[in-house]
């Protein structure tokens, strides 16, 4: 037995060694491509952070390091617009919107994956067809709806129209279809209902994909610009991306240091979330890529 295992290891090592010797240029090219992609992703963030502590007159000189560090850009940006209120609005809209969206996506994906009802495939195709409709098309109908309900300049008007996500439902449904059906069937034999199966079996087995969908929903809600701009008309209900536009209109094209500092206010929370949840995000994306 040990001889067989040793032979297999030797064969595997030989195969790996031959693969490495055969494709040195391919491996080197892959590393170069990864470095280029990494620089493309990192350089804009570095330039943003550098510009936020650079005097406005030196920002467009494109230096790698600021010649003069100006930390006053941050308090100047904070004082130029009610960013405290913008933060509260963005946090409420993002958390409430993402929470409701995930609940709807989980329940609907479970229904499409495990329940039997008439015309299920047709309904699923109609849902998929909704993904092809540009979001700008439904701006006016959604605005007229919340206006008739008296939800303009309210959290309900900001949150409710975006709680349905076909993309999130599709991702979760496709993942649930890959789970072994024997587990849920055994739970049914033991007397578990659908909600018990979903909560105790399906969701724990789908945790990486659920985390991925949660992160996508949080980033989408946090960065949403068009709908908060349309659905609100008062500064007290604006969110951070809209507040950034307000600051740019106030400061004009002169105080770019303050505008860059305000941009850091907007992008910093998603970066922190990604830093702490990157392992789950990568696991979920990898799982989705390998299982389709």
CB 110 within 8 A of CB 198: yes
| Predicted local confidence at residue 98, as pLDDT | 93
State both tokens at 251: 């400061």
For residue 144, which of 155, 157, 131, 134 has the smallest C-alpha distance? 157
pLDDT of 124 > 80? The answer is yes
For residues 276 and 272, what is the distance between their CA atoms, to the nearest angstrom?
Answer: 6
Mean of the pLDDT values across residues 257-280? 81
63-120 pLDDT, tens digit per residue, is 778 777 888 888 888 888 888 899 899 999 999 999 999 999 999 999 999 888 888 8
7-20 pLDDT, tens digit per residue, is 555 555 554 455 44
Cα dist from 265 to 10, 283, 287, whole Å: 55, 28, 32
pTM of the model: 0.77
Residue reference for tokens 């279809």: 177
């Amino acid at each position: 037995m040990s001889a067989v295992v040793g032979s297999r290891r030797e064969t595997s090592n030989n195969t790996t060694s031959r693969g490495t010797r055969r494709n040195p240029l391919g491996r080197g090219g892959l590393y170069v491509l990864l470095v280029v992609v990494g620089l493309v992703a990192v350089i804009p963030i570095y330039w943003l952070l550098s510009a936020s502590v650079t005097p406005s007159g030196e920002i467009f000189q494109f230096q790698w390091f600021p010649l003069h560090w100006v930390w006053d850009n941050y308090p100047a940006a904070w004082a130029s617009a009610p960013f405290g209120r913008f933060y509260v609005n963005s946090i409420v809209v993002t958390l409430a919107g993402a929470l409701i969206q995930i609940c709807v996506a989980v329940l609907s994906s479970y229904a499409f994956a495990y329940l039997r009802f008439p015309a299920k495939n047709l309904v699923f195709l109609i849902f998929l067809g909704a993904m092809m409709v540009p979001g700008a098309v439904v701006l006016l109908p959604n605005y007229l709806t919340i206006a008739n309900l008296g939800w303009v300049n309210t959290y309900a008007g900001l949150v409710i129209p975006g709680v349905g996500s076909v993309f999130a439902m599709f991702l979760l449904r496709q993942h649930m279809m890959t789970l072994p059906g024997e587990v849920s069937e055994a739970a049914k034999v033991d007397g578990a209902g659908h909600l018990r199966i979903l909560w105790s079996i399906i969701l724990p087995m789908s945790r990486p994909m659920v985390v991925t969908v949660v992160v996508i929903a949080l980033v989408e809600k946090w960065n949403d610009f068009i709908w908060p701009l349309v659905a609100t008309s008062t500064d007290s209900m604006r969110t951070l991306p809209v507040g950034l536009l307000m600051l740019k209109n106030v400061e004009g094209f002169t105080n770019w240091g303050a505008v860059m500092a305000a941009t850091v206010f907007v992008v910093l929370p998603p970066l922190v979330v990604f830093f702490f949840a990157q392992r789950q995000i990568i696991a979920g994306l990898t799982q989705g890529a390998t299982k389709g």
